Structure 1
Amino acid sequence: MKPGKNKGIILESSLKLFCSKGFGNTSIKEIAASAGVSQGNIYNYFSNKEEIFDELFFKKFPGNFIELFINEISDEKSLDENIETMLDNLTSFADENSCFFKLIILDANEFGGEYLKKYSEPFNKPIEDYFVNSIKLPGLRKDIDSVKFTYFFGWLLYALGLTDIIYMNNEGKSIKSTPEYKILLSILKKGLKE
């Protein structure tokens, strides 16, 4: 097996185990067995489980997640269209990457939110820049603090992602298909207008 392939298999096995058993309940020995490699092979790539978690949290998902927002936000679109695009992209991402949200929960439970704090800056920056510029547009409320709104919006996206995963697991379909999702979208859009 090629060295780079081993690392990928170790990461995938770790992700599955962390998501099913939790970080604290998963051992290097279990990761090695699941990946079909020796424990020593894992230590060729990672010093400990925390480094594996770090790589999963910061390298596996964030690029894809942030790109959804950077690439899809456009000055040519209306604020309504951009908000709808962000929410739609988030729920699609959650549908396809439920384990990422499980990692966020693991982070909150086992690391006190340390990873999410580091992660939120590159995530929030493009959204904040967009809202700073959007709030200057005619017809939008001027009393909104764009930085605070960005954090609120970020937490709303996080909660929506978790809700979508739960709904998907229970109902077998995305939350986007529900009337409640459409109501939330409408409330958010109307709340930004004067």
Structure 2
Amino acid sequence: MVGTKHARGPVVVDNELGPRALRKAQRPQEILQAAFEEFVERGYTATRIEDVAARAGVTKGTIYLYFQNKEELFQDVVGKLSQPVFDENQFLEQHQHRSCNELVRLFLDTLYEHMTVNPHSREILRFLIADGRSFPTLVSTHFDQFVKPLLTMFDRILQKGVREGVFEIWAEDHISQILISPALTYAIDMLLSADNTKLPELPIYINTHYEMVMRTVRKASV
């Protein structure tokens, strides 16, 4: 008598990562965060790979599994921990029914929060100021990916105001960059100041910045 073969049931694949695999998947991000904290505390030059490893709770050799050297680690800290200020399309769609004046104010409020409150954005600005000369490609890439879209979005808000007859702006290059430069000035002052109590109060500073922009772009008849 020939034995009957029993068909096997479907093979079930567990797609969930186990604790060790999950830990391994998270490790590069943990190393980047540890490196960020070391660069903040010590500066780029004084930071050592072994300091990053100790803070991340891994061996020095583990760092080199993911990053070739300190230079690459620094570039990934800046590139991968940087965060865009806005999702341009989402912002404009979400606030499409607001007036142009309100859009300018929302833009400035969000920009200042990003530059003064968000620790990654604030400290990465410090890194680029202090060590950007040694990483010109990194600075250029950061500008293209994070700064240029910001300027383009502000320009779109201004052009919307022009189309609606609310704003008028002169045909000069870099108008958006000029008009939002006080935000960069405030962020740099924060980085340089040992005592932030000597800085202008942020809400008052933002109000002044907003009024400056409005006086510049608002039509005289509006």
- Give me the TM-score of the superposition, normalised by structure 1: 0.80
Distance 1:66 1:58 in 2: 16
| Shift in Å, 1:28 | 0.7
Are 1:14 and 2:39 an aligned pair?
A: no
> What's 2:15 paired with?
none
Contact 1:140 1:192 in 2 (8 A): yes
Distance 1:174 1:57 in 2: 28
| Shift in Å, 1:57 | 1.6
> What's 1:190 paired with?
215
Structure showing greater Rg: 2
Contact 1:72 1:85 in 2 (8 A): no
> What's 1:34 paired with?
55
RMSD, aligned α-carbons? 3.0
Q: Which protein has the bigger helix share?
A: 1
| Shift in Å, 1:70 | 4.8
Number of residues paired by the alignment?
190
> What's 1:152 paired with?
178
Distance 1:56 1:153 in 2: 29
Match of 1:71 among 90, 93, 105: 90
Q: Percent identity?
A: 15
Contact 2:132 2:139 in 1 (8 A): no
**Letter paired with 1:191:** T
> What's 1:138 paired with?
165
Match of 1:106 among 123, 127, 143: 127
| Shift in Å, 1:104 | 1.9
> What's 2:68 paired with?
47
Distance 1:16 1:70 in 2: 32
Query: Residues 49 and 134 from structure 1, CA distance in 2 versus in 1: closer, same or farther, beyond 3 angstroms?
Result: farther
Contact 2:34 2:56 in 1 (8 A): yes
**Letter paired with 1:180:** Y
* CA deviation string 1:105-126 (max 9, x = no partner): 2222212273343222233234
Query: Residues 143 and 10 from structure 1, CA distance in 2 versus in 1: closer, same or farther, beyond 3 angstroms?
Result: same
> What's 2:111 paired with?
90
Distance 2:200 2:27 in 1: 34
Flag structure 1 segments of 5+ consecutive residues without an equivalent: none
- Give me the TM-score of the superposition, normalised by structure 2: 0.71
Distance 2:194 2:113 in 1: 11
Match of 2:40, SS state, is helix
The more displaced of 26-35 and 160-169 is 160-169
Distance 2:128 2:193 in 1: 22
Query: Residues 72 and 160 from structure 1, CA distance in 2 versus in 1: closer, same or farther, beyond 3 angstroms?
Result: farther
Are 1:56 and 2:77 an aligned pair?
A: yes
